[in-house]
């Protein structure tokens, strides 16, 4: 059985919860609480699903602006992956040619080339763009 979207029922949900652009942490917390309540509701109606999508969009927009995730540098990404996989500088001799160059890259004194980024991407099984500077 296909459930159809009922605009009148959706209008009632909108009137009840009055979602709007989120501008404060308090409003964000309220939107998150409602989204969680809707997310865990069994047998959600199409109207509730639509309201949930709207809330998620509003929450994401607020958090993107107020709590941006800063992109790390190529060297910080390399260092993080090295530590996470318990790798030593010796693991990168083939990529950078010498321990001195590995040190320079880690200390942001030497830029990673696109070829090296490709090799690092293959080595770590990640996208090479993680090692590319803008």
pLDDT digit string (tens) for 69-92?
Answer: 667 789 988 998 999 889 999 999
CA 127 to chain centre: 15
Domain limits for position 31: 7-66
The dihedral of CA 27, 32, 35, 36: what is its sign?
negative
CA torsion angle 96 100 102 104 (round to 10): -110
The pTM assigned to this predicted structure is 0.56
Give the end of a domain, one of 48, 66, 84.
66
Indicate whether 61 and 107 sit together in one domain. Answer: no
Residue 3: predicted pLDDT: 75
Contact 44, 38 (CB under 8 A): yes
Number of domains in the chain: 2
Residue 68: predicted pLDDT: 80
C-alpha distances (whole Å) from 92 to each of 5, 31, 83, 88 are 56, 47, 13, 8
Contact 130, 118 (CB under 8 A): no
Q: What distance in Å separates the CA atoms of residue 123 and residue 87, rounded to the nearest whole number? A: 11
Residue 14 contacts by C-beta under 8 Å, 6 or more apart in sequence? 51
Residues of the chain with pLDDT under 70: 1-2, 69-70, 134
Give the end of a domain, one of 66, 91, 115.
66
Residue 18: predicted pLDDT: 96
Indicate whether 21 and 59 sit together in one domain. Answer: yes
Residue 96 lies in a domain: yes
Residue 2: predicted pLDDT: 65
């Amino acid at each position: 059985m296909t459930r159809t979207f009922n605009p009148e029922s959706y209008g009632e949900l909108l009137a009840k919860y009055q979602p709007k652009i989120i501008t404060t942490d308090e409003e964000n917390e309220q939107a998150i609480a409602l989204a969680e309540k809707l997310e865990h509701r069994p047998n959600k109606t199409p109207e509730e699903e639509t309201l949930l999508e709207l809330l998620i969009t509003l929450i994401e927009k607020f958090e993107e602006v107020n709590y941006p995730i800063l992109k790390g540098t190529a060297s910080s990404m390399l260092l993080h992956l090295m530590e996470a996989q318990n790798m030593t500088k010796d693991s990168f001799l083939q990529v950078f040619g010498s321990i001195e160059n590995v040190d320079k890259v880690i200390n942001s004194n030497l830029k990673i080339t696109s070829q090296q980024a490709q090799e690092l991407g293959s080595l770590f099984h990640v996208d090479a763009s993680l090692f590319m500077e803008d």
